[in-house]
Amino acid sequence: MPIVTYTSHDGAVTSVEAGIGQSVMQAAVQHGVRGILGECGGVLSCATCHVFVDEADLSRVGPPGDMENELLDGAATDRTPRSRLACQIKMREDLDGLRVELPEHQE
């Protein structure tokens, strides 16, 4: 299974296995990664799974869609060019080693 590495705002690093097709948000919640709330359960309505994709992984992940872009504009932490919602990044074998950083707060 591919590995996702989450780096919290305070520098704590957590790496977890994620199933193929599982979202980065689902993997975080399943493994108790602090800093990803996922209040809406991944239905693209809350922006509480905001992450910053590592610069080296941006091309592999791809850009956000229109709905995701709208939600990112209202995220609790200002968006950056690396911002994505973790619920919209579905794991694939070629995303093994994906690294994301968590914002200071989600609400």
For the stretch 73-87, pLDDT in tens is 999 999 999 999 999
* 64 C-beta neighbours (distance < 10 Å), count: 17
Buried b (16+ CB within 10 A) or exposed e, 33-62: bebbbbebebeeebbbbbbbbbeebeeebe
Q: 24-74: per-residue pLDDT in tens?
A: 999 999 999 999 999 999 999 999 999 999 999 999 999 999 999 999 999
Write out the CATH class of domain 3-101: alpha beta
Q: Which residue has the tokens 């091309």?
A: 59
pTM above 0.85, yes or no: yes
